[in-house]
Amino acid sequence: MKLVLHMTTALVSVGLLYTTAAIAAPADGQAISLEEIVVTAQRREQSLQDVPVSITAFTEATIREQNIRTASDYLALTPNVSFTEDGKTGNSGINISIRGISDIKTGENSVTNSIGIYLDEFSVVSVAGGTINPQLQDVERIEVLRGPQGTYFGRNAVGGALNIVTKKPTDRYEAEATIGGYAYDGAGDGGLVSGVLNIPVSNTLMMRFVAQGETNSGIVRNADPRGAKNSGFDSYGGRMAIRWLPDTATTVDFLAMYNKQDEGHDPTVPSGVLDLDTQDTLGIHKVVDDGIGFWPNNQNRLSHNVKESNKSDSVLLNLRVSHNFTDEIALKSVTGFIRTTQDRIFDQDQTSLDILQRDNAYSGSSWSQELRLEVTKSAFDFVVGGLYAQDNQKQYNNIFMKSERQIDGVYVLPPVIPGVFPSGTVIDLKNKRFKTNSLAFFVDSTWHATDRLDVTVGGRYTHDKIVAGLFDSQGFAGQPMQDIFSGKSFNDFSPRAVMTFKPDEAMTLYASVSKGYKAGGVSVGYNSNLGNQPFAEPFKAENLWNYEAGFKTDLWNGRMRLNGAAFYSNWKNMQLESLFFMTPGDISSNVQLTRNVDKARVYGFEAEAVAAVTRNLTLNGAVGYLNSKINCDCEATITGGRIVDLTGLAIPKAPEWTLNLGAEYRHDVSFGDMYVRLDWLYHSKQYSDIEALTWAQTGQPEFPYKVPSYNVVNLRTGINWTDRLSINFYVENLLKEQYYTGTQEKFGVSGIRLRPHPRIFGLSVTVKSF
């Protein structure tokens, strides 16, 4: 009933947008219209309303005024998009799902991802921390594309893609500085500063520099003085962009970016509910209470004795060259390189007890070269291209004993025997290496059959070679393990067909069929039940067919924009990644296996509307609906080594409803303008992974595995002085909703860890000089 009420509210609100915009008239008789949004979803500039893809786009003004600073800020405003915030990769850690398609894992980082992420046309998806979450200063546009994007964004864009476009150097001097501060309700605070400088060196050479720094004292503090003080961080970074115009037909863009972040402990609090891993590994079934309490009574404290830290950095280089042979023929080249590292010291037992510690050192690098030939004629458009890419990841994981062995008088690890198992004894040390070589060719052709009808056909051929390995690894007490390296190749052709019809200049109708592809691979490990014999178990590639019909329309002389789409997706060989013990109770026997789930399906719809009701008042709304199901008779091995039945279950990270409504009032004054904006976001319940989805089968409590629905209200207001000075004030989570987004942070004797979201008060001041 509650969901029906929310849906009714959303539809009524959209209806009000439609009706109000139809009857309202400008007070001064001048025309009102919404600003056109230009996107590059098909790797060329087009109006959002002309592209036959379901897209939510965020412009520079939206990013600034709605205080969009990380991925969770804009994903929460996008229908049929969900995310869980992964504490183990730091404050910005995130796992993304689009239309229910995501990396389904209960173990470590996924090496091959389901959502493509592109920064200035370069894939940045293969990183040490799992999913990149770049800083968004001086960004021109963010596009969230839903549905398979195989032709143009083929590298792992099964569920969709995020397309981030930075601002390019211009031919005039610009300087901008922003300083801001914020405070968490009942927790810490933070401050940030950023600057932009644009220098036109000559008529043909321009440079743009962006720098940012932030310090944060965290949302969770440590009650144990021996450990890290809080979950805060210090970060800094910058970008340098160069644009060179050697002649009137050629544009050369170069981008260099660096970011570094140094954090304390994870921003999570204990739930008081033990996960299966902890119960089986340590042989306990009673949670340890350090006296700080559990969720929801405790939302800002933990108690860890280890001096935890989480350090990461990234370097990105990107070279783009575009040459126009004629007005109709252009050749484009995109060359990119990214290197990321993450070093982590972690209190594995998650209490003030000194039982277990884990040290991680992850690194990742990726480079690619893409060439595209684009032909634009009056009768047709044609794009043909190729790409070669190489990804490398290394993962160092070391779990070792500390000085304590007892919980409530019961031994949980081998007892302390002088000279035998001292503090520091290795329990499990596994070093993993992954390498992917990818070669792809793609073509996309649009025939302009009539002035109103376009027919598009295209496809992408991909050859992937995946190599996985374990090296220099050790079992319990430093027992050496044999090195393992195994590889497998995969070939795929992913077609796309679209029919686009424009009944008039203000409306676009489209229907599409497209295929998404995600390479398979090899799981490698040691079978502790067979004397730690090495094994290599291949798993299949994922395939997803998506059938979609949508519309995009401008109403009432451009004062309202209403877009919508309905879709049906068939998912074959869905990859399920799990971490469990080959030998129950033996932590050193853990293996990470990826298995295939034969069949799953997702269908649903999404709609977005925005309307300039009056010259001062703008309303917007969005609704997304998902229905997902694993429709095969299949089982899976999950954390703890238990076998669960997946038949008929929903897909993790696929909430049934995602809704948002917003209202902005803007008023012109003599020195500029003022605005106030209110946003409401709703996200229905979801499960983070297969372990959460099957809580009843394994005899676990519903809390915290069933992530409750939540409502969040955000308030923004600001003043702009003639484009030179702006002051913005915001309150996020105005009504202090107590919510968390996932349960993927599990192991520990204080229970599954949850990330709180306190109310935030913030203020920023921006000064510009042109």
pLDDT of residue 765 exceeding 80, the answer is yes
pLDDT of residue 86 exceeding 50, the answer is yes
Rounded Cα distance, 365 and 589, in Å: 29
Rounded Cα distance, 631 and 649, in Å: 8
* pLDDT at residue 1, rounded to an integer: 36
Question: What element of type H or E holds 691?
Answer: helix 690-693
Contact predicate 101/544, CB 8 Å = yes
**Rounded alpha-carbon distances, angstroms, from residue 410 to 248, 280, 350, 413, 583:** 77, 14, 18, 9, 21
- As a 3-state breakdown, the chain gives helix, strand, coil percent values, each rounded to 5, of 10, 55, 35
- Tallying the residues shown for the chain, one arrives at 770
pLDDT of residue 12 exceeding 60, the answer is no
pLDDT of residue 9 exceeding 80, the answer is no
Mean predicted confidence (pLDDT) in 661-670: 94
The mean-pLDDT minimum among 192-196, 378-382, 591-595, 628-632 falls in 591-595
pLDDT of residue 758 exceeding 60, the answer is yes
Contacts of 732 (CB under 8 A, 6+ apart): 67, 712, 714, 759, 760, 762
pLDDT of residue 236 exceeding 80, the answer is yes
Contact predicate 469/503, CB 8 Å = no
| Three-state SS sequence of 244-313 | EEEECCEEEEEEEEEEEEEECCCCCEECCCCCHHHHHHHCCCCCCCCCCCCCCCCCCEECCCCCCEEEEE
Contacts of 4 (CB under 8 A, 6+ apart): none
Phi, psi of 526 (to 5 degrees): -125, 130
Mean predicted confidence (pLDDT) in 233-255: 97
Q: Report the mean per-residue pLDDT for the chain.
A: 90
Mean predicted confidence (pLDDT) in 178-192: 96
Measure CA 541 to chain center: 21
pLDDT of residue 540 exceeding 90, the answer is yes
- Other beta carbons within 10 angstroms of residue 418's beta carbon come to 6
Q: Measuring CA to CA, which residue among 629, 565, 738, 749 is closest to residue 219?
A: 738
Q: What is the DSSP letter of 152?
A: H
Question: What element of type H or E holds 6?
Answer: helix 2-23
pLDDT of residue 75 exceeding 90, the answer is yes
Positions of E strands within 49-204: 54-59, 81-84, 95-98, 104-105, 115-119, 122-123, 139-146, 160-166, 174-184, 189-200
Torsion angle of C-alpha atoms 69, 74, 76, 82, degrees rounded to 10: -110
- pLDDT tens-digit map of 584-617: 767 778 888 888 999 999 999 999 999 999 999 9
**Rounded alpha-carbon distances, angstroms, from residue 281 to 335, 476, 478, 515, 692:** 47, 14, 19, 42, 19
Selection from 26-30, 33-37, 559-563 with the highest mean pLDDT: 559-563
Mean predicted confidence (pLDDT) in 734-745: 94
Cross-strand bridge partners of residue 498: 456, 512
For the record, the structure tokens of 131 come out as: 């999913």
Tell me whether strands 533-539 and 521-527 are parallel, antiparallel or unpaired: antiparallel
Contact predicate 494/472, CB 8 Å = no
For the record, the structure tokens of 182 come out as: 């914020």
* pLDDT at residue 13, rounded to an integer: 41
Contacts of 369 (CB under 8 A, 6+ apart): 333, 334, 335, 387, 388, 389
SS3 528: helix
- pLDDT tens-digit map of 197-222: 999 999 999 999 999 999 999 999 99
Cross-strand bridge partners of residue 435: 392, 467
**Backbone conformation region of residue 751, classed left if phi is above 0, alpha if psi is from -120 to 50, else beta:** left
* pLDDT at residue 749, rounded to an integer: 93
* pLDDT at residue 408, rounded to an integer: 81
Domains of the chain by residue range: 2-769
Kindly report the pTM of this predicted structure.
Answer: 0.93
With pLDDT > 70 as the criterion, what percentage of the chain qualifies? Answer: 94
Question: What element of type H or E holds 565?
Answer: strand 560-581
The hierarchical CATH code for the domain 2-769 is 2.40.170.20
For the record, the structure tokens of 526 come out as: 């040691």
* pLDDT at residue 14, rounded to an integer: 41
Q: What is the DSSP string of 34-86?
A: PPP-EE-TTSS-EEGGG-SSEEEEEEHHHHHHTT--SHHHHHTTSTTEEEE--
- pLDDT tens-digit map of 456-497: 999 999 999 999 999 999 988 888 999 999 999 999 999 999
With pLDDT > 90 as the criterion, what percentage of the chain qualifies? Answer: 74
Question: What element of type H or E holds 19?
Answer: helix 2-23
Mean predicted confidence (pLDDT) in 17-37: 55
For the record, the structure tokens of 284 come out as: 């306990």
**Rounded alpha-carbon distances, angstroms, from residue 378 to 332, 446, 450, 770:** 21, 11, 10, 40
- pLDDT tens-digit map of 251-290: 999 999 999 999 999 999 999 999 988 888 888 889 999 9
Rounded Cα distance, 452 and 151, in Å: 24
